[in-house]
Amino acid sequence: MDNQTKKQKQTEATENPSIYSLQLDEMKEWLVEKGEKPFRVKQIFEWLYEKRVTSFEDMTNLSKKLREQLAQSFSLTTLKTVIQQTSNDGTMKFLFELQDGYTIETVLMRHEYGNSICVTTQVGCRIGCTFCASTLGGLKRNLEAGEIVAQVVKVQQALDETNERVSSVVIMGIGEPFDNYGEMLSFLKIINHDLGLNIGARHITVSTSGIIPKIYQFADEQMQINFAVSLHAPNTEIRSKLMPINRAYKLPDLMKSIEYYINKTGRRVTFEYGLFGGVNDQVEHAEELAKLIGHIKCHVNLIPVNYVPERNYVRTPKDQIFLFAQTLKDKGVNVTIRREQGHDIDAACGQLRAKERQDETR
Ligand code: SF4
């Protein structure tokens, strides 16, 4: 899309906020303001999250007047599916266009325990991890809670065709969720609510690159959701090379904030550790990592990282991945290796959107 078309779309985009941004109480307040009975909120939430309608017109047990008022005040279709790819292993990848013309990615992964969706929280990202394609264009804007919720609803609508359900949510797509903290929290509350998407807290995972003040704040929220930190390195030097955020939020301080989280919530933390050939994947790195985290309640998720064409990182050979994992196990650290999914489609973080952006510049 050229810049002029994008600008035009931004002008045309409705000013109405997404209805999916509203908490139950906020919807109730709005109804009361309009002279409606508060119990209508249950009906509206049922249409949104159980029946998953795509038009206010379809909310047939509401009066015509109320449906019109809803349509005048809110937007129901904030995402348009631009690309939907399905991999041989069932992984689905979606590229959605927002009302202002920006595009975002959402991925659905199939596991033995159910279908897990990976949502995006920002258009682009300003954290600047050196291995990440989505960092190339910087941060464009934060997503509203409703735009994050709509990703789950859209994917669920696609699954409705085969009678399947989104059973878990990971906030690990493009963007740093703690850099869009308020909207992320709103999103969590809506998808967790039994009248919302009713996804259990223990089936939701949020992952941060390490914004320390927000880790303390999140610990104090005392939510029962799973918490992951993108660590990717056993020491300051390597982490700063891979993740410039480490210069602002230093590794020793990050570890302190994580220990605070564990003490406060009693929950364990997952460390995401991407393996980059020759950078952080040697036995001595595994030993150093075990020293760094061995004393805390945690689990390490090793991620064999896809080759990112714009960067010089290469994949770690399979034998080396197993050796790395075994070294951690021998030191008493819980570890799993993430199963690779969607290999035949663009499954690495940011690749689809980066591709689209390249197409835009042609
Ligand atoms: S890996 Fe995540 S936090 Fe890092 S730049 Fe990419 S989207 Fe941002």
> 132 lies in a domain?
yes
- Domain containing residue 311: CATH number: 3.20.20.70
Looking at the fold, whether 52 and 37 belong to one and the same domain comes out as: yes
User: How confident is residue 226, by pLDDT bands cut at 50, 70 and 90?
Assistant: very high
Above 70 in pLDDT, residue 219?
yes
125 is in an annotated binding site: yes
207 is in an annotated binding site: yes
- The number of domains in the chain is 2
Counting from 1 in the atom list of ligand 1, the atom nearest the Cα of 209 is 3
> 255 lies in a domain?
yes
Q: Could you tell me if the CB of 121 is within 6 A of ligand 1?
A: no
Domain of residue 27: give its range. 23-73
Looking at the fold, whether 169 and 88 belong to one and the same domain comes out as: yes
Active-site amino acid positions: 105, 349
- Torsion from C-alpha of 226, 230, 236, 240, nearest 10 degrees: -150
> 95 lies in a domain?
yes
Looking at the fold, whether 98 and 32 belong to one and the same domain comes out as: no
Angle at 127 between CA 261 and CA 78, to 5 degrees: 95
129 is in an annotated binding site: yes
Helical spans, DSSP H, in the chain: 3-12, 24-33, 40-45, 64-73, 145-160, 181-192, 212-221, 236-242, 245-248, 251-265, 283-293, 318-330, 351-361
Counting from 1 in the atom list of ligand 1, the atom nearest the Cα of 134 is 6
> 214 lies in a domain?
yes
Looking at the fold, whether 36 and 101 belong to one and the same domain comes out as: no
Q: Could you tell me if the CB of 125 is within 6 A of ligand 1?
A: yes
Name the closest-CA residue to atom 4, ligand 1.
Answer: 129
Looking at the fold, whether 315 and 177 belong to one and the same domain comes out as: yes
Task: Give percent of the chain with pLDDT exceeding 70.
Answer: 88
> 67 lies in a domain?
yes
The DSSP letter of residue 75 is: B
Q: Could you tell me if the CB of 120 is within 6 A of ligand 1?
A: no
Looking at the fold, whether 63 and 99 belong to one and the same domain comes out as: no
Query: In this structure, what token pair is assigned to residue 192?
Result: 């967790």
pLDDT tens readout for residues 133-165: 766 789 999 999 999 999 999 999 999 999 999
Q: Which of 42, 73, 104 is the last residue of a domain?
A: 73
CA distance 193 to 210: 27
Instruction: Give the total residue count for the chain.
Output: 362
Above 50 in pLDDT, residue 66?
yes
Looking at the fold, whether 153 and 236 belong to one and the same domain comes out as: yes
Q: How far is the CA of 174 from the centre of ligand 1 (A)?
A: 6
Q: Say if CB 270 and CB 229 are below 8 A apart.
A: yes
Indicate if the alpha-carbon torsion angle 299, 302, 303, 307 is positive or negative.
Answer: positive
- Domain containing residue 32: CATH number: 1.10.150.530
Looking at the fold, whether 172 and 265 belong to one and the same domain comes out as: yes
> 4 lies in a domain?
no
User: How confident is residue 308, by pLDDT bands cut at 50, 70 and 90?
Assistant: low
231 is in an annotated binding site: yes
Q: How far is the CA of 30 from the centre of ligand 1 (A)?
A: 36
> 138 lies in a domain?
yes
Residues 6+ apart with CB under 8 A from 230: 129, 207, 208, 209, 210, 243, 272, 274
> 269 lies in a domain?
yes
Q: Which of 58, 73, 88 is the last residue of a domain?
A: 73
pLDDT tens readout for residues 173-211: 889 999 999 999 999 999 999 999 999 999 999 999 999
CA atoms within 13 Å, Cβ hemisphere of 166: 32
Name the closest-CA residue to atom 3, ligand 1.
Answer: 176
pLDDT at 359: 37
Q: Could you tell me if the CB of 134 is within 6 A of ligand 1?
A: yes
Q: Which of 73, 96, 113 is the last residue of a domain?
A: 73
pLDDT tens readout for residues 249-298: 999 999 999 999 999 999 999 999 999 999 999 999 999 999 999 999 99
Looking at the fold, whether 155 and 231 belong to one and the same domain comes out as: yes
Provide the 3-class DSSP secondary structure of residue 152: helix
Query: In this structure, what token pair is assigned to residue 184?
Result: 């992320």
Above 70 in pLDDT, residue 53?
yes
Q: Could you tell me if the CB of 176 is within 6 A of ligand 1?
A: yes
